[in-house]
Structure 1
Amino acid sequence: MAENTVEGTASPTRRNVLRIEDLAIDYRQGFGRTFRAVQGITLDIAPGETVGLVGESGSGKSTIGNAVLGLQPPAEGSVQVLGEDVALRGRRSHEPGPVQVVLQNPYRAFNPFKSIAWSLLEPLTAAGGGAKPGRDGLVSAALAGVGLDPSYARRYPRELSGGQLQRVAIARSLISDPALIVCDEPVSSLDASVCGQVLNLLTAKQRERELAYLFISHDMNVVRLMCDRVYVLYRGRIVEQGSTEKVFADPQHEYTRKLIAAIPDRAESLRQRAANAV
C-alpha cells in the first residue's frame, strides 16, 4: 500500500491493469479558450485492487474516469490499460475493450426501447460481434451471475427496480470479460436498502475474476468500505493519496479532513447490509 503524499505517485514495480501518468485534461470554452479540468494525475491499479477517487462535485473525478474509458483525450500525459495506450486502442472496434463502466443512474444507462437481452449483448455487438449462436445462453448466464432470473432477458428497463437494473448494469460490464471496471458513483442513486447488496455483488465479482476497480464516489463511507487505496482530488489535483486505512485514520490535508468530517458515519450500516445481501 502506498503512503500518504501530496503528489499522486504510482508503483512502477507492480504489474498494473491501469497506469495513469502525469495526466492533464482540457475542456474547450468559448472564443478559443480552454479550461484545465485536471492536472498532474498519476495513479495505478493492480489486478484485484479497488482504488477510490474522491472529491466534491467538479473536482475532476468523472473527467478522469472518462479518460480511462477513452471518451476524453489527454492534453498531456498518458492513460494505459494492460500496457496499451487507451487513445490508440480506441481507434479499433473489432473487439470489446478491457475497460467497462457501471454508471450512477441505471435508468439513464440503458435504452428504454430495447430489451435487457439486447442491452446485455451491446458491448459485444458494438465491437462487431453481431448475432452469434450461443448468445442466448450467454445472456442467461450473465443474469444468473448477478442473481437475476434468466426471464429478465425479455423485460425492458422500465419493468425493473433501480437495484435490479444496476445488477443488469454490472452483468453488462462483465459480459465482455474486462480487466478494469470504472464504477462511477454506482450506488449513489439507489435506495439505502439495496446499496449494500450492490456493493456486495461488486465485491464478489471482483474476487471471482480478479477485477480491478476505479471507484469514483463522493461518499467517504462507501469508499472506506470498498477501496484498498484512495486518491483525494481537489480542484483537479491530487492532494492526498495512500491506503484507505491510513488516509481515514490520519488525513494529512485539510481538504481530506473536511471530507471525512462532513460525512455521517454509516459505514457499519453498509457493512451489515453487505453481509446480509443475497
Structure 2
Amino acid sequence: MKKELILKYLEENIIDLLSKAYELLPLVIKHQTDESKWSNSPDLYPDYQEWVSEGHDKYERPFFDILKSIYLSVSLYVEKNNTPNYLSIFHRIFGEDYEKCKYYNEFNCDDYWTGEFNNTFLSKTTQFLSPFGFIDSNRKETGLIYLENILHGTESYLNALGINPIKEADVYQPIKQVVNVIFPSSSNAGSVFLKPNKQYKPDILVPELKAAIEYKYANSKDRLNKNIEEVVSDTQGYTNDFNYSFFYAVFYVTQDFMGKNRFMETWKQHNFPKNWIPIYIVGH
C-alpha cells in the first residue's frame, strides 16, 4: 500500500510540474524571441541587457528548475515501478546527470503535427511516460492543453507584461501575441463565420487546433451578465466553418463579481453547446 501511495504522489507531482512548465513555456519562448531581436538591434534597444537579465530571472530560471524537478520525479517514478530496463532507457535518452540534460534548452517547431513550438525535453518526457497511462498523451498531441494553459494564465501574462487592462482589446491582444509565438499559423488565420447581416470574428484563431477564442471584459456584474448573453449570440454565429470545432469563451472580470461556482452555474443554465468551454479570469 505504501508503494501505491508513493506512486500516486509522484504521478500527481509530475502532472503538476508539467502543467507549470507548459504555463511558463510561451513566456520563455517569447522572451528568447525578444532577446534575439534586441541583441540584433542594440541601438534600438539600449536597455536590452537589463531586459534579458529580468526575463531570465522571471521566466527562464524557474522554467529550467521545473524541468530538472521533472527529470528527478520521473526517474524516481520509474525506479519505484520496478522497471530497471525502462529506467536505463530513460538514462540513455536524457543522460544520467539531471543538471546537464541536453534537451532542457532545445526548442523546436512541430511542423508535421501541429505547427506549434515546443520544448524537446517536455515532448520527449510526455512520450516516455505515455505507457504508464496517467498522462493524457493524445490530448497533448492536439496541442489543446498548451492553448488552455495560456488562456488560464491570462492574468499572469498581463501582470508579467505590466498591463492593467481597461478594455477588451487590452486583454486579448497580448494573449494573441503569446499564442502567435506558440502556434505560428494563428498569425494570419481567417474564418468564414458569415451570416446575412453580420460577420462574426473571434478574437483569436488557432487553425491547427481547430480552435477559436472569444474574450469578454467586464468591470461590473451587469456587464458580465451581458457578456454571457453575447456569447449566446456567438454560439449561433460561429457556425458553418468546419475548420473550427473547439470554442473558448474567456471572461476577464476586474473583480470577482459572481464567483467561479456561481458563474459556472449560470453558464450551465444557458445550455451552451458542449464544444464551448468557459474560462473565468479574475483580474487584480
Query: Taking structure 1 as the reference length, what is the TM-score of the superposition?
Result: 0.29
Point out which structure has higher relative CO (alpha carbons under 8 A, 6+ apart).
1
**TM-score scaled by length of structure 2:** 0.29
More strand as a share of residues: 1
More helix by share: 2
